[in-house]
Chains A and B, each alone.
Chain A
Amino acid sequence: MTLTRRAIVDHLIDIAGQDRVITDEQVLKENSYDRYKKLETIFGIYTTPIPAAVVKLADTKQVSEVLKFLNENKVNSVARTGGTATEGGLETIVENSVVLDGSQMNQIIKIDSTNMQATAQCGVCLGDLEDRLREQGFTTGHSPQSKPLANMGGLVATRSIGQFSTLYGGIEDMVIGLETVFPNGDITRIKNVPRRACGPDIRHVIIGNEGALCYITEVTVKIYKYFPENNQFLAWALDDMSLGFKILREVMVEGYRPSVARLYDAEDGAQHSFDQFAQDKCVLMFMAEGNELIAGATAQGIAAVVGKYEECTPIDGKIIENWFNHLNWGPEKIAEERELIRKTQHLAYTTEVSGNWDCINIIYEKALKRIREDYPHMDDLTMLGGHSSHSYQTGTNLYFVYDYDVKNCKPEEEINKYHIALNALIVEETLKAGGSMVHHHGIGKYRTPWTKQEHGTAYSILKGLKDQFDPNGIMNTGTIYPVE
């Protein structure tokens, strides 16, 4: 028997108390979406079902009690902390969903400088954790653009990655241990050890689950010594992306691990004002980080690699450093963005993918070509380009960036006419070329049509996890797993 909205709320109040169960309509509306849907929500249109309640969870025990209740009654839940997700993962697409807000579980539990670990609850803002660590000369090394706002729970749930990943890795390389609650109410703790071979690495059941399998309540991550005084920025202008990818690969294959390694095409670069010093050129940039010897050798080595290419013209590192220091999303920038959108009906989005070295340029060229040739509303686009920002031994990621004016279209129709359509073209070309349809933003709810294609025969492993841990299907329905 399906519980009514009122009954759900009453039960939640019984478990968590009146103060923690929010039913204010505006709050509910704001918790029904994330950064995938900007336009309609700015105009106060909410086509996604409004959740029944937002529960501000107090502690792990309460998470367990609430989840158990939801599971027993087959009520859909959406885990949420910082709210900066970009792929619709936070949308409450099922009627009378309950948003489980962990942002008040915001204690930094321990900073352990001997074992070089920091433990934080899911609602700790990464920016706060990072500030606290830096006071003591440490860093997590994790710096996504959402750092001022994103919380640890969401960052782990989405398998996020930061601007310094080429040195520090993604969140999966940083997590040591976790505490998690499963839909049946089981509280599980994975202990903090440096490495073990005690069966498969079960942390990876949790990291990246996007709230579709369990609720992350606590995270322990590695910490590193922080040497910002040794940071060195290097940059070059060059003519084409394929050469840029070639050089990026060479830097990685030679064994250098700069914390930042990025390649921008001219279009994407222009929106960052790179055209002011590298007009109609691609920009290749690196930041070397670490102790003095490592940072120095990294910078020297990269300069030697790039220096062999006459096509590359050096750019003053100070320009890139200044730009880089102003890249992150503070709440002011987000507010400014919403206001601009309201006034101009002009939107900017990204679709980011990954591929091995041998196919990344193919993905880049083919996806852009496909959009230019097949997308029916090209005239409405004001920017179309891309950049790579996370490189590996074996390949790299690729951000496609597209801006457009919404024309002749109601706010709630924009998503189908533009965002979903453009996203689809990029995903299709990426999968065709052998790449992965999403590098670090998570599948969310809008790339689920391709989840099976993405995983191929390995999909059964992924599906098995869902069958095992969420048999009642109450964990963020529509995320990762397509709704059948």
Chain B
Amino acid sequence: MKIAVCFKTIADYDRMSQKDWEWDEHHFVDVSFVRRIFNCFEESALEMALKLSRPLEDLPDKAELTALTVDGEQGDLFLKHLIAVGYDHAVRICSNKRLDLRFSPLSISHLISAYMNQHEHQLVIFGMQGGEGGNRQTGFLVAEQLGWPCIREVTEVIRTESPDFLKVTSRIDGAALVQIVKLPMVLVIGHSQGSAYLRIPNLKQKLDAKKKQVTLLSEHALKVDNKELLNKDKILIDLHKQRASQSCIFLEGKTARDQAQQLYDQYLKERLPL
């Protein structure tokens, strides 16, 4: 089985303060000074694929894993890291610097689908949300383009006795949906408690990964017409910051008791339900 997991790193927004949220005339927010991280859903997706590829350490039919991103050079470090944790192939589709792909899931999906058409895979996995845009659409669009079934909000996926089927658990309306589904398929990962964190490579794995290469591909190599990448879906007009933060009144009691009493007397008493 060949599995591809698609991801796009984001800046660690928790390390940005209100004043950092500024943008230039092209509506680009400068996040170059903040470290980049995996988004939590994609991190789950990447770990889930690792578990799926080799549910038991010595299982002979290990699935072949590819990590794929559409990004600039900043993606290479993460791809190397993924090789270190066990990905067989790490591919970066070099995004054309002149194109703003932040809010273009359609363009991204064309690139990913083109790759899938050139390299046969049975399973493509996305996180529920990723990248600056948080568009939440790329997985669905790739499923459309490949003509594959798609299961969203996946929480767990495991192998079955049959190599052509997977057991997929996902969230629906107030319930968990468990399905045995035939490959090929697209999975979109939601909140997965079982795969919350990506595993950590040991020193030897990191060293070995240094010797391996990241595969770089352009849209030309994928035979994707530039015209297809032009945004025909939605065009960004402008960005807005949230309302300016209000001033919070800090309660200065000497003890927790004082603070609790003050909170209740001055603010909660009148508001609490009778």
Within 8 A of A (CB), among B209-226: none
* In the assembled complex, A405 has its CB within 8 A of some CB on chain B: yes
- Flag if B202 contacts A380 (CB, 8 Å): yes
Interface stretch (choices B29-37, B58-66, B139-147, B162-170)? B29-37
A322 contacts B203, CB within 8 Å?
A: no
Please tell me if the beta carbons of A322 and B197 are within 8 angstroms of each other in the complex.
no
B196 interface residue (CB < 8 Å to A): yes
Residues of A in contact (CB 8 Å), total 25
Q: How far is the CB of B232 from chain A (nearest CB, A)?
A: 33
Alpha-carbon separation in the docked complex, A276 to B123 (Å): 30
CA–CA, A318 to B31, complex, Å?
10
- Contact check, A379 vs B202: say whether CB atoms are below 8 A apart: yes
Q: Given A316-B32, A381-B202 in contact, is the A275-B77 Cβ separation under 8 Å?
A: yes
Q: Which residues of A contact B (CB under 8 A)?
A: 273, 275-276, 279, 316, 318-319, 321-323, 325-326, 340, 343-344, 346, 378-384, 403, 405
Indicate if the CB atoms of B74 and A276 lie closer than 8 Å: yes
B200 at the interface (CB under 8 A from A): yes
Is B15 an interface position by the 8 A CB rule?
A: yes
Contacts of A322 in B (CB 8 A): 15, 33-35
Instruction: Give every chain B residue within 8 A of A403 (Cβ-Cβ).
Output: 200
State whether B15 touches A379 (Cβ < 8 A).
Answer: no
Q: Shortest CB–CB separation between residue B191 and chain A, in angstroms? A: 15
Nearest Cβ distance between residue A138 and chain B, in whole angstroms? 20
Best-surrounded residue of A273, A325, A340 (most CB of chain B within 10 A):
A273
- The 24 listed contacts between A and B (C-beta, < 8 Å) are A273-B36, A275-B77, A276-B36, A316-B33, A318-B33, A319-B34, A322-B15, A322-B34, A322-B35, A323-B35, A340-B197, A343-B197, A344-B197, A346-B200, A378-B203, A379-B202, A380-B202, A382-B200, A382-B201, A382-B202, A382-B203, A383-B203, A403-B200, A405-B200
Inter-chain contacts of B202 with A (CB < 8 A) = 379-382, 405
Instruction: Select from chain B the residue with minimum beta-carbon distance to A344.
Output: B197
The CA of A378 and the CA of B74, in the complex, are separated in Å by 30
Selected from A276, A325, A343, the residue in CB contact (under 8 A) with B196 is A343
Shortest B22–chain A CB gap in Å is 13
CB contacts (< 8 Å) of B201 on chain A: these are: 382
CA distance A382 to B85 in the complex (A): 11
B119 within 8 A of A: no
Contacts of B36 in A (CB 8 A): 273, 276
B204 within 8 A of A: yes
**Closest chain A residue to B200, Cβ basis:** A382
Chain B min CB distance to A236 (Å): 16
In angstroms, Cα B33 to Cα A344, docked, is: 30
B35 lies within 8 A of A276 (CB): yes
Give the residues in chain B near A318, CB-CB below 8 Å.
33
Instruction: Give the complex CA separation of A479 and B202 in angstroms.
Output: 34
Say how far B48's CB is from chain A's closest CB, in angstroms.
15
Complex-state Cα separation, A444 to B33, whole angstroms: 38
Q: How far is the CB of B248 from chain A (nearest CB, A)?
A: 15
Indicate which residue in B77, B197, B199, B204 contacts A279 across the interface (CB closer than 8 Å).
Answer: B77
Bound form: Cα–Cα A212–B245 in Å: 49
Within 8 Å CB of A279, what residues of B? 77
Q: Which of B11-62 contact A (CB under 8 A)?
A: 15, 32-36
Query: Which residues of chain A come closer than 8 Å to B203, judged between CB atoms?
Result: 378, 381-384
Residues of the B chain whose Cβ atoms lie less than 8 Å from the Cβ of A346: 200
- Closest chain B residue to A322 by CB distance? B33
**8 other A-B residue contacts (CB within 8 Å) besides A279-B77, A322-B15:** A275-B77, A326-B15, A340-B197, A343-B197, A344-B197, A346-B200, A382-B202, A383-B203
Q: How far is the CB of A239 from chain B (nearest CB, A)?
A: 16
Please report the C-alpha to C-alpha distance between residue A344 and residue B199 in the assembled complex, in whole angstroms.
8
Interface hub of B35, B196, B201 (most chain A Cβ within 10 A): B35
CA A382 – CA B201 in complex, angstroms? 6
Bound Cα distance from A242 to B33, whole angstroms: 27
Mask, B177-216, CB within 8 Å of A = 1, is: 0000000000000000000110111111010000000000
Q: How far is the CB of A338 from chain B (nearest CB, A)?
A: 14
Q: Do A319 and B33 touch across chains, with their CB atoms under 8 A apart?
A: yes
A329–chain B nearest beta-carbon distance, Å: 15
Which of chain B's residues have a CB closer than 8 A to the CB of A325? Answer: 15
| CB neighbours of B199 from chain A (8 A) | 344
**Distance to closest chain B CB from A345 (angstroms):** 11
Q: Which B residues lie within 8 Å of A378 (CB)? A: 203
Q: How far is the CA of A276 from the CA of B199 in the complex (A)?
A: 19
Chain A residues contacting B32 (CB-CB under 8 Å) are: 316, 319
Q: Which 9 pairs show the lowest CB-CB distances between chains A and B?
A: A273-B35, A318-B33, A319-B33, A382-B200, A382-B202, A322-B33, A381-B203, A326-B15, A322-B34
Which residues of chain A are within 8 angstroms of B34 by Cβ–Cβ distance? 319, 322
Q: Which residues of A contact B197 (CB under 8 A)?
A: 340, 343-344
List the B residue with the shortest CB-CB distance to A340: B197
State the CA gap A149–B152 with chains docked (Å).
42
B77–A276 contact, CB under 8 A? Answer: yes
- Chain B: which residue is nearest A272 at the CB level? B35
Cβ of B200: which chain A residues have Cβ within 8 Å of it? 344, 346, 382, 403, 405
CA of A322 to CA of B77, assembled, Å? 20
Q: Closest CB of chain B to A464's CB: distance in Å? A: 43
Closest to B33 in A: A318
Q: How far is the CA of A379 from the CA of B204 in the complex (A)?
A: 7
